Amino acid sequence: MAHGYQNYIGGEWVPAASGQTFDDLNPADRDDLIGRFPRSDARDVDRAVQAAQEGFARWARVPAPRRAEVVRKAGETLRRRKDELGRLMTREMGKVLTEALGDVQEGIDTAEYMFGEGRRLFGVQAPCELPQKFGVAIRVPVGVVAAITPFNAPLNTVIHKVAPAIAAGNAVVLKPAEQTPLCSVALAAILLDAGLPPGFLQVTCGPGETTGAALVADRRVRFFTFTGSAAVGLTIKQNSGIAKSHLELGSNSASIVAADADLELVADLVTRAGYRKAGQVCTSVQRLLAHASVIDELTGLLAKRVAALRAGDPRAPGVQVGPLIAPAEAERAQGWITEAVERGATAVTGGERDGPVLIPTLLRDPPPDSRIMTEEIFAPAVALVAVGGLGEAIDVINAGEYGLQAGVFTRDLETAFHAARRLRVGGVMINDTSSYHADAMPYGGVKNSGFGLEGPRYAIQDMTDPRIIVLNLREGG
């Protein structure tokens, strides 16, 4: 019999007010019921935000080192339970175990970074025009933070949102992705065991259309941190009033291959970065813009590597690419591939589908206006396109609606810097793909890829407000 889970609100594990639940299913085996979770509605959200508001009044007064200590202890528990949590993630999200363990390790690293940054939360002296005036600008927590998290990194991305909020002195309402709620519930329990007092973290499970919408409409929330699609991000921005927000949205990230690039390096890195987590990564290489003089050789190198990737049940030995989060997503992605081929693209390898598993796909020269070139496929598929030079490749990227990260492969320093200056993206990786991401670095996009930054130092700054304090001192005192 499937285990029933509950929301965590006001220091208690409670069912949804409606009594309704939804099923959490293994994406590789839809007959494997992981658990049943509360289908929260506006009543649950109202209670969660109220509890967070009451908790904030107490938590903000707790010294920063003590708040940071909670995050450190949680990181220690993550380390002890790494294997267990990795297996849980493989079952719930469909990542192969090595990738799931990598996600847990990234969560451990993020917690350690947050611990350090949480202890360094301080202000600066502020300039004042008169000599008897002395000013300082301190950082104060914003209040209630709503964290709306995605399915594709169900532990580390949640930590990137919850940990800085806690370290900064805020109270949090967490709404996990409907497809991966168990990872968030497990993390909440770990934070409570680490000493987080009741009332400072609430967990409300449910679909975005109801649970998420009620959270966005609540004006008591003062900061929204969201990772997901551009369409949902726009809805959050339009409906969240004047609350601050950080939106990490979609992309169809590209990497540029110059004529002088190390093609073996390109092939090795793209084989990893285009197909890890079944391509369900915002920075995943979706477009590879290669100079016409090297594209044939690069096609051969990539075709051999991509065709060798084994796709299937992530629990099976030797599988490198697992399923998409749902069969409908695999069907959609295959439809995009079929559309591109019907319009003239060449399927170099892959394109077949087995239920939720899409065989790793490499396309050659799809039409510029095809969906795989203009939208986010979020699947293990890479489009390889010939360009006449660096300027053309940069123009292709800049003309698109997204701007998260890009990669540039070249042996020439001038070329690298020229591209880095001209590309309208949040991050440029030289001799690496768009998919590189270190947890401590500032991470965010431009255009429809969102705004605001993840990364411990930057998120904590965003989740606090500056407050100016000016002393009027007596002369000669």
Torsional sign, CA 391, 396, 399, 400: negative
Residue with tokens 């967990």: 203
Measure CA of the first residue to CA of the last residue in the chain; give whole Å.
Answer: 75
Q: Is 284 exposed, middle or buried (0-12, 13-18, 19+ CB in 10 A)?
A: buried
Pairing of strands 144-148, 133-141: unpaired
User: What is the CATH architecture assignment of 7-249+450-467?
Assistant: 3-Layer(aba) Sandwich (3.40)
Give yes or no for a contact between 171 and 142, defined as CB atoms under 8 angstroms apart.
Answer: no
- The pLDDT assigned to 59 comes to 83
- At 289, is the secondary structure helix, strand, or coil? strand
- The pLDDT assigned to 468 comes to 95
Residue with tokens 């008169």: 130
- At 45, is the secondary structure helix, strand, or coil? helix
Intrachain domains 7-249+450-467 and 254-439 with the same fold: no
> Which option is the CATH number for 254-439: 3.40.50.2300, 3.40.309.10, 3.40.50.410, 3.40.50.880?
3.40.309.10
d(CA 143, CA 82): 32
Give yes or no for a contact between 89 and 95, defined as CB atoms under 8 angstroms apart.
Answer: yes
Residue in 418, 437, 449, 344 with CA at minimum distance from that of residue 156: 437
pLDDT, tens digit, 9 for 90 and up, residues 61-95:
888 999 999 999 999 999 999 999 999 999 999 99
Out of 69, 99, 183, 282, pick the active-site residue: 282
Two tokens at 403?
């701007």
d(CA 439, CA 266): 23
Mark whether 475 is an active-site residue: no
DSSP E strands: which ranges in 295-426? 346-349, 353-354, 357-358, 361-364, 381-387, 402-403, 405-409
For 129-141, give one letter per residue: b (16+ CB within 10 A) or e. eeeeeeeeeebeb
* pLDDT, mean of each 10-residue run, the chain (477 residues): 88 96 96 96 98 91 91 96 97 96 96 92 87 92 98 96 96 97 97 92 97 97 97 96 96 98 98 97 97 98 98 96 97 98 98 97 98 98 98 98 98 97 98 96 97 95 95 79
Q: Where are the alpha helices (DSSP H) in 81-155?
A: 82-93, 97-118
Q: Is 477 exposed, middle or buried (0-12, 13-18, 19+ CB in 10 A)?
A: exposed
- The pLDDT assigned to 2 comes to 65
In the 3-class helix/strand/coil scheme, how is 391-431 assigned residue by residue? HHHHHHHHHCCEECEEEEECCCHHHHHHHHHHCCCCEEEEC
Q: Where are the alpha helices (DSSP H) in 95-134?
A: 97-118
d(CA 125, CA 291): 51
Longest dimension (CA), the chain: 84
Residue in 98, 92, 222, 100 with CA at minimum distance from that of residue 170: 222
**Vertex 265 angle, CA 411 and 310, to 5°:** 160
pLDDT, tens digit, 9 for 90 and up, residues 296-309:
999 999 999 999 99
Domain segments of the chain as ranges: 7-249+450-467, 254-439
d(CA 348, CA 366): 11
d(CA 286, CA 369): 14
- The pLDDT assigned to 131 comes to 86
Mark whether 282 is an active-site residue: yes
Distances (CA, A) of 102 to 83, 276, 413: 10, 11, 32
| DSSP class of 210 | I
- The pLDDT assigned to 476 comes to 63
Two tokens at 300?
């051969």
Residue in 152, 157, 156, 151 with CA at minimum distance from that of residue 177: 151
Torsion of CA 99, 233, 237, 406, to 10 degrees: 70
- The pLDDT assigned to 185 comes to 97
For 223-260, give one letter per residue: b (16+ CB within 10 A) or e. bbbbbbbbebbebbbeebeebbbbbbbbbbbbbbbbee
Residue with tokens 């070329």: 415
Out of 69, 99, 248, 454, pick the active-site residue: 248
- Which residues, listed in sequence order, are joined to residue 257 by a DSSP beta bridge? 290, 409
d(CA 302, CA 309): 11
Give yes or no for a contact between 174 and 5, defined as CB atoms under 8 angstroms apart.
Answer: no
pTM, to two decimals: 0.95
